[in-house]
């Protein structure tokens, strides 16, 4: 019998059908690689040079309103644009290209320039959840849109160009790779078992307990069995719903509460504004409401401290992903830190 705490082994991600190599014995090795200091952020509540702050000018002469809650607008430098020709180009059977159209939007979480998701109140995050829901419903109803991706890049090392609390929505005519893989796996599982894949997975995790981070009446945050990133987590709805639009009033509040808990624990882990890329996976416009189970993924790069970052290099780029810290050990560390933000104690 292999010892999952000591022996190298691989774990399957049932949402994608892909494997990850886990090497727990490598946590004992000394680290002499790159170290990137994550500074404690000190910002003013309003920055006159920030293009996301209320009342300030953006690119193209657009000016933000004096918003007091959330604020959504079309991205001034969108990666996707409406009306792109849908033509197909194939100079060779192996070389193909399709036109992709879409819309890109920015959602400001708060008028406060100096806060992060973790530092907002549950009530303020609830306002963000409501805005996400409205945007998802509007964009998903557009006949030219195939999938709506809501995501947040937090911190400079994750490519975030502006520290003002915000996220992006990219709504595309094409179905993205990760969504296509998850849709196929969930549909196959549902057809075979009559239950969603994540409903059965979450039932097991709630009974096992060792990979759970935070739980409330409506959502659970956990380190998935197949996690790649050091403190990767997944947020899963306890009721099998396909998207934000199916959440009840109370479930929206539960989502706000679990996001507050999770992001606070992230910050408290190393007492920094913890960097991550995170976002929701929900039913594509033409997807099955029965098979798809609403969830979110969070991928943070910090490895052993606020100075050591994980990169996907070498074997991981050429073979398959590998991690040293087991999901169980990562979940334990996140559970052990407080869900009261460290800045509130200063």
At 269-312, the pLDDT tens digits run: 999 999 999 999 999 998 889 999 999 999 999 988 887 888 88
* pLDDT value of residue 162: 92
**Average pLDDT, integer, range 67-73:** 97
Least confidently predicted of 208-222, 279-293, 308-322: 308-322
Comparing 114 with 43, the larger pLDDT belongs to: 114
Segments in the chain forming alpha helices (H):
122-140, 177-193, 197-208, 249-270, 315-318, 327-336
At 73-99, the pLDDT tens digits run: 999 999 999 999 989 999 999 999 999
Question: Would the pTM of this model clear 0.75, i.e. be above it?
Answer: yes
What's the gap between Cα 80 and its chain centre?
20
**Residue % of the chain over a pLDDT of 90:** 82
Q: Which of 88, 92, 113, 166 is catalytic?
A: 166
Residue 171 host element (H or E)? strand 166-172
Q: Which two tokens stand for residue 40?
A: 């404690």
Q: Is the pLDDT of residue 123 over 80?
A: yes
> 318-332 burial, b if ≥16 CB within 10 A, otherwise e?
eeebbbbbbbbbbbe
Q: Which two tokens stand for residue 118?
A: 């973790």
Least confidently predicted of 40-44, 131-135, 183-187, 297-301: 40-44
E strand segments, 28-113? 71-74, 88-92, 95-98, 102-108
**Average pLDDT, integer, range 156-182:** 93
Q: Is the pLDDT of residue 171 over 70?
A: yes
Secondary structure string (H, E, C) spanning 271-340: CCCCCEEEEEECCCCCCCCCCCCCEEEEECCECCCCCEECCCCCHHHHCCCEECCCHHHHHHHHHHCCCC
* pLDDT value of residue 122: 98
Q: Is the pLDDT of residue 28 over 90?
A: no
Closest CA to 246 of 279, 217, 183, 288: 288
Length of the chain: 346
Question: Do 54 and 83 touch, CB atoms closer than 8 A?
Answer: no
* pLDDT value of residue 303: 86
Pairing of strands 18-22, 71-74: unpaired
Distance CA 90, CA 88 (A): 7
- Look up 166 and say whether it is catalytic: yes
* pLDDT value of residue 29: 60
Domains in the chain, CATH or no CATH each: 12-23+42-86+95-338 (3.30.428.10)
Closest CA to 151 of 105, 93, 95: 105
Q: Is the pLDDT of residue 346 over 80?
A: no
Count Cβ atoms within 10 A of the Cβ of residue 286 and give its class: 0-12 exposed, 13-18 middle, 19 or more buried. Answer: exposed
* pLDDT value of residue 32: 52
């Amino acid at each position: 019998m292999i010892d999952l705490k000591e022996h190298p082994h691989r774990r399957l991600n049932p949402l994608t059908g892909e494997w990850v190599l886990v090497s727990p014995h490598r946590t004992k090795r000394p680290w002499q690689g790159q170290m990137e200091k994550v500074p404690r952020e000190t910002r003013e509540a309003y920055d006159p040079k920030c293009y996301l702050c209320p009342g300030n000018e953006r690119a193209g002469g657009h000016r933000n309103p004096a918003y007091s809650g959330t604020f959504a607008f079309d991205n001034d430098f969108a990666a996707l644009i409406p009306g792109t020709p849908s033509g197909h180009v194939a100079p060779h059977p192996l070389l193909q290209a399709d036109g992709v159209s879409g819309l890109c939007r920015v959602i400001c979480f708060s008028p406060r320039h100096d806060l992060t998701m973790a530092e907002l109140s549950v009530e303020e995050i609830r306002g963000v959840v409501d805005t996400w829901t409205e945007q998802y419903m509007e964009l998903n109803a557009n006949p030219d849109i195939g999938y709506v991706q809501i995501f947040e890049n937090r911190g400079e090392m994750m490519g975030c160009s502006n520290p003002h609390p915000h996220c992006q929505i990219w709504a595309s005519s094409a179905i993205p790779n990760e969504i296509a893989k998850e849709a196929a796996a969930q549909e196959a599982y549902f057809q075979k078992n009559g239950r969603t894949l994540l409903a059965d997975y979450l039932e097991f995790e709630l009974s096992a307990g060792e990979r759970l981070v935070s739980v409330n009446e409506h959502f659970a945050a956990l380190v998935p069995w197949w996690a790649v990133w050091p403190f990767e987590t997944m947020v899963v709805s306890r009721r099998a719903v396909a998207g934000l639009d199916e959440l009840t009033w109370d479930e929206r509040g539960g989502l706000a509460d679990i996001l507050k808990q999770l992001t606070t624990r992230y910050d408290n882990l190393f007492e920094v504004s913890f960097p991550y890329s995170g976002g929701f996976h929900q039913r594509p416009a033409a997807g099955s409401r029965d098979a798809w189970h609403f969830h979110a993924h969070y991928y943070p790069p910090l490895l052993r401290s606020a100075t050591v970052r994980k990169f996907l290099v070498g074997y991981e780029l050429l073979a398959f992903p590998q991690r040293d810290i087991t999901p169980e050990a990562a979940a334990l560390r996140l559970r052990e830190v407080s869900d009261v933000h460290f800045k509130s104690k200063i």
